[in-house]
Amino acid sequence: MIVNEIFYSLQGEGFLAGIPSVFVRLAGCPLHCRWCDTKYALSESAGQNYDIGEIVEKVQKWPCKYVVITGGEPMISPELSQLAQQLKGLNKHITIETAGIAYLPDLACDLMSISPKLSNSTPAEPKLADIHEDSRLDTAVLRELIDNYQYQLKFVIDSQDDLAEIQQTLKKTGNINSEKVMLMPQAATRQEFLSKSEMVADLCKRTGFIFCHRLQILLWNNQKGT
Ligand code: SF4
């Protein structure tokens, strides 16, 4: 597998925010979101080739139960299932962070952390924008993920206008537990996070959705390895 980085930090987002966790960041994502905060991991070659045993060995450097497999987009990696299985064999709690663009069955996954992409993430470059628009949202895939895994749904909010699109997406996908829907400010820096947080908090109060923290931005200003 092409691994961009393996590091120990706190989970920054979602229901498990604040829990010390080992992160395995796989390289490669076709979406190229405009505001992607891990652009250094988007190319399929943005890392080193490890076999699964090497990844598991590195993860075990830290005496930590929680492992987050992230990217890039881990769900497009053909060896994801094997990696998750081996980590599960060590009694790890496994979160998989995905944009929800691909479904794989029977993964050893305790929490599928799905962040469907809205039109606010479309990149400016026309060729990338076409690929992004073709693949960013597949409600049938979302349905499969939601039906088959414990999940959380995190939407990135750039402005309050995004709410209508989120509501359309939820309606189209159908039967989503609103207590698992989270809104998080679009931000690449601590300053940006703080400046958008109040607007997102107001949206959460209006809708009942949950405010999603981003501790990696608040604490470390989104430095690589956090
Ligand atoms: S889906 Fe995630 S990793 Fe992929 S480009 Fe968008 S923000 Fe970056």
Cβ neighbors of 167 (< 8 A, separation 6 or more) are: none
> Is 217 strand, coil or helix?
helix
The CA 72 to ligand 1 mean position distance, Å, reads 6
Give the position, in ligand 1's atom list, of the atom nearest the Cα of 71: 3
26 lines ligand 1 (CB under 6 A): no
CA angle 64, 38, 164 (to 5 degrees): 105
- What digits encode the pLDDT tens for the residues 176-226? 999 999 999 999 999 999 999 999 999 999 999 999 999 999 999 999 999
User: Is residue 38 within 6 Å of ligand 1 at its C-beta?
Assistant: yes
Q: Report the percent of the chain where pLDDT is more than 90.
A: 100
pLDDT of residue 151: 98
What span, in angstroms and rounded, lies between the C-alpha atoms of 141 and 173? Answer: 9
DSSP sequence for 45-73: TSSEE--HHHHHHHHTTS--SEEEEESS-
31 Cβ closer than 6 Å to some ligand 1 atom? yes
- Ligand 1 centroid to residue 99 C-alpha, Å: 7
Closest residue to atom 1 of ligand 1, CA basis: 99
Task: For ligand 1, say whether the CB of 137 is within 6 Å of any of its atoms.
Answer: no
Q: Which residue's CA is minimally distant from atom 6 of ligand 1?
A: 33
Between strands 151-157 and 210-211, the pairing is: unpaired
List the pLDDT tens digit at each of the 226 positions of the chain.
999 999 999 999 999 999 999 999 999 999 999 999 999 999 999 999 999 999 999 999 999 999 999 999 999 999 999 999 999 999 999 999 999 999 999 999 999 999 999 999 999 999 999 999 999 999 999 999 999 999 999 999 999 999 999 999 999 999 999 999 999 999 999 999 999 999 999 999 999 999 999 999 999 999 999 9
**24 CA to middle of ligand 1, Å?**
15
Residue with CA closest to ligand 1 atom 7 = 36
CB 26 within 8 A of CB 71: yes
CA–centroid distance, 172 to ligand 1, in Å, is 22
